[in-house]
Amino acid sequence: MSDKFDVVVIGSGPAGYVAAIRAAQLGLKTACIEKWKNTEGQGVNGGTCLNVGCIPSKALLDSSFKYHEAKEELGIHGISTKGVAMDIPAMLKRKNSIINQLTGGIAGLFKANGVTALYGTGKLLAGKKVELTDNDGAVTVIDADNVILASGSLPIAIPVAQLDGDLIVDSTGALEIGEVPKRLGVIGAGVIGLELGSVWNRLGSEVVLLEAMEDFLAIMDKGIAKESKKIFTKQGLDIRLGARVTGTEIKGKEVEVTYKAADGSEHKQTFDKLIVCVGRRAFTDGLLADDSGVQLDERGTVFVDDQCATNAPGVYAIGDLVRGPMLAHKGSEEGVMVAENIAGHKAQMNYDIVPNVIYTHPEVASVGQTEEQIKAAGEPYNVGTFPFSASGRAMAANDTQGMVKIIAHADTDRILGCHIVGPSAADLVQQVAIAMEFGSSAEDLGMTVFGHPTLSETVHEAALAVNGAAIHIPNRKRRK
């Protein structure tokens, strides 16, 4: 390939494709390389998120929730649903149809914005050259003024639970389970484990989650984590904390798992399927030539500065490949920031305000600092909470589990964090994220007019409660 590009992006997941589109919009000649292939062997964009991550898992979550709701929860509305059944192949077909629509949509966006889509494996060489091995095996070296690395992440494998693609699978394989297992084991009770466990629990599996850590959802605010565990346990998820898996053995059509409990005692549990969800690692395999000049940190991620520049001039890295939470939206915004900086703009990203969501039902969402982080920093603060059980809109929808928690600085009243477990938590927390981006105080949010009846009113009341002014619940005494 003789043409030289202003920007070459390696990877077309949420970080890479957004970076490529924004760069092209800014007038930069841009190419994007993607190695992913669909079941027909054709190159497709979207990376993990669209193909085997965020989107397909949410499709299964929504399908399974609708089934559970029809089977278990519509009676209270006076709706009879006798004989409700789940067609798993139809559910998977719908999921695959959504994937095809969205990955095809990226191809259309590339064309509309003038991004050159290249399919194959990209490897960074010295001097901002990129070696492309296309899907037919042909090798080409591309010259670039700037290179953006966006190769994403892979599920972490553990020696004690070797994948066999049938009985023991990772989060990717879990999206293709063709029938409801009677007994499902999940190693890891983090975001992915909870979401996949919820899918099959709703469909009728007996789900056991084995979590090595003794704290549930350690990254979340402890109050919200405690409330979430109570809700999930009531739903039927068997969450065992401090359970460290020490071995697995396939016996016929079953998997026997051995684990040590927090007290040191050893236990065995037999499952029909086992999902390994112990986290993800940056995907740098084959990405960097020895002389590329790009440095990895001690965790195996690409070392970058606040603007996502690596130590190699003209080379950037974004998304799951770099420090910070592995979140699609975080990678997308990094992609925009890098593209704009390459184009000569002065762009930056506020890493302090990146929402985090678990798409169970109810959803769990957070933005900003937890109460534990603020307390550890020695900052004075006030807390306001409001339960969904006091929301008229939540009552009308028969969806009243959970609460909203807002934390503000005791002296300035500036909002420091918001944590929610409840219906539509992902959307509600975004309202507070916007407020925080503009430096809002809890009083500012409390003075804002919210529509009635809405779930958003729970955010309004939590903000009022920070300063002891909630209307629809008794106020607790403010911190001194």
Q: What are phi and psi of 39, to 5 degrees?
A: -65, -20
Joined together, the tokens standing for residue 283 give: 């995907």
- Residue 448's Cβ-count burial label (10 Å; 0-12, 13-18, 19+) is middle
Residue 29 to residue 21: CA distance in whole angstroms: 10
Q: DSSP string of 383-422?
A: EEEEEGGG-HHHHHTT----EEEEEEETTT-BEEEEEEEE
Question: How many whole angstroms from its chain centre is CA 457?
Answer: 26
Place of tokens 């938590």: 425
Instruction: Report the distance separating Cα 197 and Cα 190, nearest Å.
Output: 10
List Cα–Cα distances, 189 to 144, 200, 277, in angstroms.
Answer: 42, 14, 8
Cα torsion angle, 268, 274, 276, 277, sign: negative
| Cβ atoms < 10 Å from Cβ of 298 | 6
Residues belonging to the active site: 452
User: What is the rounded CA–CA span in Å between residue 358 and residue 370?
Assistant: 16
**In angstroms, what CA-CA distances link 55 with 103, 107, 158, 224?**
11, 17, 25, 25
* Cα–Cα dist 250/132, whole Å: 40
**DSSP-derived secondary structure letter, 73:** I
Q: Answer for the pair 73, 235: CB distance below 8 angstroms, yes or no.
A: no
* 212-217: long-range pairs with CB below 8 Å, 24+: 212/188, 212/242, 212/243, 212/244, 212/245, 212/278, 213/241, 213/242, 214/241, 214/242, 214/262, 215/241, 216/189, 216/241, 217/189, 217/190, 217/358, 217/364
DSSP 209-241: EEESSSSTTTTS-HHHHHHHHHHHHHHT-EEEE
- Establish how many alpha carbons lie within 13 A of residue 2's alpha carbon, considering only the half-sphere containing its beta carbon: 0
Question: 470, exposed or middle or buried, with CB in 10 Å at 0-12, 13-18, 19+?
Answer: buried
